[in-house]
Structure 1
Amino acid sequence: MLFYVLIYITIIVSAFLSLEFNVSLNKKIKYGIFLLFLVLFVGFRWKIGGDWDSYLGAYKNLSFRQIFTFDPGYVVVEYISKFLGLGIVGVNSICVFLFGLGFIYFLESFELSLSQSLVIAFPYLITVVVGGYSRQSVSIGFVMAMFGAFRKKDIIKTLLFYALAIVFHESAIVSGIIFLSDKRYFSKYVKLTLILLLFISIIMHKVIYDRFMHFYQLYVVSNIMHSTGAIIRSIINTIPGVFLFFLKNEWENRYGDFWMWGVVSIFSGLVLIMVLTTHLTTLGDRILLFFYSLQIIVFNRVIYFVENKLLKYGLFSFISIFYLAMLIGWFLFSSHGSFWVPYKNILL
């Protein structure tokens, strides 16, 4: 656990220097270092993550038919890695690289600071999700890129990233909820999305049916799957929505994307209610992973709403300590935390 904490403290210090002294590297260098870090930290990890054995088994038993019975995007990555002789490490490296590109596109689209965004993203999104669940991580990266393209009103890129997110993990379909936030483009998005989903359904009909029945049986019918941290994480993802609506007018005047994140906030609130009132805790937990960017966007921007320098640094410190506590708490109390420690890497 100490290894992860030390990395996070380094990120906090970097973010503070960026906030206080406006210390920043050239963007290309900065993003290059970030992608290299992701590949070394996540891509080169060894026997880390709750699904490590499942991913390794799928890679060893790789067959062409899996394109029609599994998430095809991930299967293609497996084939590329096998062709190049890179093994499961190659699969993980390609996946985390794709996530990193989506993450960077998101930051660039919303003009967010990389270091300050990592203060929010590293403790759970990168350490746990990206560092343990390869298919979901790529899908989340493409969803974040989709959010960026949606803000730019780029319909083609929005639907392209949406499609790529779905072919890596079909549950990414829920992220299409943001299409409700733009009245001007709503009808276009609906028509093109329906065509897109119809095309994907024809190509992936067996995958979609089998996975739907699997999810339905696993998350809805049975009570086997229960996420102990789902309530806490759902509350955490709802808190930025409260800030967002509290700052509604000023947010819209500054950024012009209030309703985009407003829809995400409302949806997150509904998922919280579902988690609190039903046994669908794991389902809610998995859904909200695709909207983790709400935390990144709000907590990144809300600091700049505070003009008093002392209060600004106080807020930054509170956010940093809060996410540090989340990181430590997850390792201490999560039933799956042992799969991430001690950290192992093929280079070490």
Structure 2
Amino acid sequence: MWPYWLMYAFPAVVALSSNSRERSWPPWILLGVVFTICIGFRYQVGGDWGNYLPHYDKEIGRSFSDPITGDPGYVLLNRLMAQLDWKIYGVNLACGLIFTIGLIVFCRGLYRSWLGFALAVPYLVVVVAMGYTRQGVALGLIFLGLAYLEKGRFIPYMLFIAVAALFHKTAVIMAPLGIFLYRHGWLYRIIAVTLVAAGLWNALVAKEADHLWTTYVEQQMYSQGAVIRVAMNATAAFFLLKYWKLWRRVYPNALLWLWMAYGAIACVFMVGFATTAVDRLALYLTPLQLVVFSRLPFLAQKEYAPETMTTWILFGYGAVLFVWLNFATHAVYWLPYRNILFE
């Protein structure tokens, strides 16, 4: 399991020695290359590894004009890689690249960029990007969209959400967040979000809505660790609300993170009703953790020295990685880490 610890240790050590945004691109490019290779060239790593192989095999010999069954973005990517004969590793490499680019672009805009990236490793990189490929791509695109949304750019955000939904239809749930960008132009954004969300729903979700409801709600699918992951989002929401007065005074477009915090709190009350469904949807709220905890050393500096707060945050997320690798039921599918380059 040491590769996972190295992936966490590198950005964590840099975060401890850097107290601001890192604007220089070369370190980020190097980091992106390493993480893309780790994600893309993994070999028999991840809980859904066996489930994704048939997706690729089914596209062998098909042309782009053939009918598409499933998430269009992911199907077409598999079809392209099948034509190039890059096998599942080409698919995973492309997905890992999209996820990593989205995460890096998002983290570079945070108060402590390296701290934000380090906090993404234990769950978002190791578990999601290396295990749930389609949702990993969707999340990477959502990261890109949020980076634009924080700058007040509504249209690019909606475009990234639309593309994310092509890889995993549940990403459509993030469309309404664009409404809460700033106070003026509400009507325009409500109309735009409604039209985009309705279009994506009808095109991607409507045909499977009954099946999804039956699978995730009526059959009561259970996700181990869902309560913990929802609680981590809720903890971030708690700190945002605690320092809300300072937050809205210092950070632009604060309202969108406030509504994201409300969503995280709502998940606490819904997780017992449909564990797996809430767990999958709460995944898209995890950027809240990176934003809040990367800003917490500044927000709480009157109570704690920023270096002390940073250390405690990194220790906490290191503990999350330790517990998951050693005690999670499904961690066996990630251990040992194997890479096709070394097989």
TM above 0.5, yes or no, is yes
SS at match of 1:343: coil
Residue of structure 2 equivalent to 1:303: 297
Preserved contact between residue 230 and residue 282 of structure 2 (Cα < 8 Å):
yes
Q: Deviations over 1:82-126 (max 9, x none)?
A: 232211111011111111222233234x34443211221000110
Superposition deviation, residue 198 in structure 1: 4.3
Identical columns (%): 28
Equivalent residues in 2 for 1:218-229 (5 A)? Answer: 218-223=215-220, 225-229=221-225
Q: Which moved more, 1:148-157 or 1:179-188?
A: 179-188
Show the counterpart of 1:341.
Answer: 335
* Cα distance between partner residues in 1 of 2:270 and 2:4: 32
> Does the aligned pair in 1 maintain the 2:175–2:197 contact within 8 Å?
no
CA–CA separation in structure 2 for the residues paired with 1:253 and 1:34: 33
2:146 alignment partner in structure 1: 147
- The 3 A distance-change label for structure 1 pair 306 and 209 is closer
C-alpha contact (below 8 Å) 1:42/1:96 kept by paired residues: yes
Contact 1:177 1:264 (8 Å CA) reproduced: no
**CA shift digits 1:278-337 (9 cap, x unpaired):** 2x1111111111011000000001112344697322211111111111111112222211
CA distance in 1, matches of 2:179, 2:10: 39
1:174, 1:5 → 2: CA distance? 33
Indicate whether 1:82 and 2:82 are aligned.
yes
**Aligned pair in 2 of structure 1 residues 289, 23: CA closer, same or farther (>3 Å)?**
closer
CA shift digits 1:216-275 (9 cap, x unpaired):
11111112x101211111111101111111111111111123221110011111111111
Q: Is the 8 A contact 1:106 1:145 kept in 2?
A: yes
TM-score, structure 1 as length reference:
0.90
Map 1:259-338 onto structure 2 (within 5 A).
Answer: 259-276=255-272, 278=273, 280-307=274-301, 311-338=305-332
Q: Distance in 1 between matches of 2:21 and 2:157?
A: 32
Equivalent position of 1:69 in the other structure: 69
- Report the AA paired with residue 221 of structure 1: E
Structure 1 stretches of 4+ moved >3 Å: 63-68, 110-114, 197-202, 306-310
Q: Which residue in 2 is equivalent to 1:246?
A: 242
Moved more, 292-301 or 186-195: 186-195
Distance 1:267 1:66 in 2: 39
Greater shift, 330-339 or 260-269, is seen at 330-339
CA offset at residue 201 of structure 1? Answer: 4.9
Greater alpha carbon shift after TM alignment, 322-331 vs 192-201: 192-201
Of 23, 28, 31, 2:28 maps to 31
Q: Does structure 1 conserve the Cα–Cα contact (< 8 Å) formed by 2:177 and 2:256?
A: yes
Aligned residues of 2:7 and 2:121 also touching (Cα < 8 A): no
Residue 233 (structure 2) pairs with residue 237 (structure 1): yes
| CA–CA distance in structure 2, aligned partners of residues 336 and 12 of structure 1 | 25
Deviation at 1:178, TM superposition (A): 1.6
Cross-structure match for 1:53: 50
After superposition, the Cα gap between the structure-2 partners of 1:112 and 1:250, relative to the gap in structure 1 and judged at 3 Å, is closer
In structure 2, stretches of 5+ residues that fail to align are: none
Q: Equivalents in 2 of 1:97, 1:29: separation in Å?
A: 16
Change (3 A) 1:75 1:27: farther
In the alignment, the residues of structure 1 paired with residue 192 and residue 290 of structure 2 have an alpha-carbon distance, to the nearest angstrom, of 29
Question: In structure 1, what is the Cα distance between the partners aligned to 2:239 and 2:152?
Answer: 25
